Amino acid sequence: MFVGVGPARVRDLFAQARENAPCIVFIDEIDAVGRERGKGGFRGGNDERENTLNQILVEMDGFNPSQGVVVFAATNRPDILDKALMRPGRFDRQIALDKPDIKSRKEIFQVHLKPLKLIANTNTEELAKKLAEITPGFSGADIANVCNEAALVAARRKAEAVEMADFDAAVDRAIGGIEKKTKVLSPEEKKLIAYHEAGHAVAGWFLEHADPVLKVSIVPRGQALGYSQQLPKDQYLITKEQMADMMSVALAGRVAEEIFFGMESITTGAEDDLQKVTRIAYSKVSKYGMSERIGALSFKTEEHGLKPYSNETAEMIDEEARNIAEEAYKRTINLLTVNKEKLKALANVLLEKEVVRQEDLVQVLGERPWKHDLAYLYDEATATPTPTEQPKQ
């Protein structure tokens, strides 16, 4: 609103830093003023944000070690920062803080479990380990939220202490959202949802590279009418076979509806699943070079509506993505047809219990034919995977 206020504040900030040297200056969300010039809505040289960025660059340009001022900045969007900010002498040391792995999650849980009143004789270390195993992909803030939510769940039921069931409910809420007790489903809708979720569970149970199924629920939560909770491992590379199994698991809900109710009765419940399948299919073709027809090429995401390839290549990409999705659909139909009776039995158990856990899945579907991946548990001393037949509940 007032031109020049941003640069003036930057000058004052660094003047105070020099007066108080040795000093640390921390700038949070640096991308708010550090966006690349010429992009992100900057209107030209007189834009206030650009002037503020220019002043930061000027203040940092003349530093030398004797001044004793160190500048830190944080951002979730390093990809949009101006290149001048990253030059030597400015923010020339970058530290990426990824989401914690299973060992780090256990240690974070141990910190946040300390203030909680747990049931007597609870082994905090073992509890933290169990919780770390069922919360892959959770950040430190997510973990703190789970512990806080577990305490609230225990307080609502007027319990004297927090127990594992409260943590299960907290994880369910973190993954699926708030339970919608006022959302009443008709018997027909409930049956469709049960078969849909049973399809996901059966596919995840019998496919080698799918993540082990931990829990299946048809209790409405958030925007979801049901969900299957799987136990993905901390993984940074995904193979072509794993991507094929991921697509089959995503399609299994829609396929189950088609097998038991017919193509005319399929519902809109598979929207998120189909979006996931579409994203994987196009990524295999246009990003990861996994299509023989397209070859070992990778195209950047479209910017400003411009495609970095010809119309002929675009048609080939569409055809290849469609073929990959159709192949995954046929593969899923074959899998669920072979296990049709088991899928039906699981759907009936879901209709009866509403929430089915891993021990129920073993009882209905039998032991999983594939051993659980060794990366779910680790050795305390070396933090390396250790063999196990079943993940701890």
Domains of the chain, residue spans: 5-86, 102-176, 187-368
pLDDT at 393: 33
Q: Answer yes or no: 312 catalytic.
A: no
Q: What is the DSSP letter of 138?
A: -
Cβ neighbours for 295, distance < 8 A, ≥ 6 positions apart: 289
The CATH architecture of the domain made up of 102-176 is: Orthogonal Bundle (1.10)
pLDDT of 376 strictly over 70:
no
pTM to 2 decimals?
Answer: 0.72
Single out the catalytic residue among 197, 257, 258, 320: 197
Nearest CA among 255, 281, 280, 259 for reference residue 269: 255
pLDDT at 2: 65
Residue 387 and residue 72: Cα distance in Å, rounded?
42
For residue range 340-369, list pLDDT tens digits in order.
999 999 999 999 988 888 888 888 988 888
The partner residues of 162 in beta bridges, in order of sequence, read: 118
pLDDT at 66: 56
Residue with tokens 């990861």: 288
**Radius of gyration over every alpha carbon of the chain, rounded to an integer in angstroms:** 26
Side chain identity at 341, as an amino acid letter? Answer: E
pLDDT at 59: 86
Percentages helix, strand, coil for the chain, rounded to the nearest 5? 55, 10, 40
Residue 61 and residue 75: Cα distance in Å, rounded?
21
In the predicted model, what is the mean pLDDT of residues 239-255? 93
Nearest CA among 91, 163, 159 for reference residue 124: 163
Query: Do 102-176 and 187-368 come out as alike in CATH topology?
Result: no
pLDDT at 117: 93
Fold of 187-368: Methane Monooxygenase Hydroxylase; Chain G, domain 1 (1.20.58)
Residue 155 and residue 150: Cα distance in Å, rounded?
9
Residue 162 φ/ψ, nearest 5 degrees: -90, 135
pLDDT at 61: 79
| 212 band by pLDDT with thresholds 50, 70 and 90 | confident
For residue range 29-55, list pLDDT tens digits in order.
999 888 888 765 555 556 788 888 888
Residue with tokens 């659980």: 372
Side chain identity at 106, as an amino acid letter? Answer: K
Cβ neighbours for 27, distance < 8 A, ≥ 6 positions apart: 56, 71, 72, 73, 74
Compute the Cα dihedral for 249, 253, 254, 260 and give only its sign.
Answer: positive
For residue range 188-198, list pLDDT tens digits in order.
888 999 999 99
| 87 band by pLDDT with thresholds 50, 70 and 90 | confident
pLDDT at 321: 94
The CATH architecture of the domain made up of 5-86 is: 3-Layer(aba) Sandwich (3.40)
Q: Count the helices and strands in the chain (H runs, E runs).
A: 13, 5
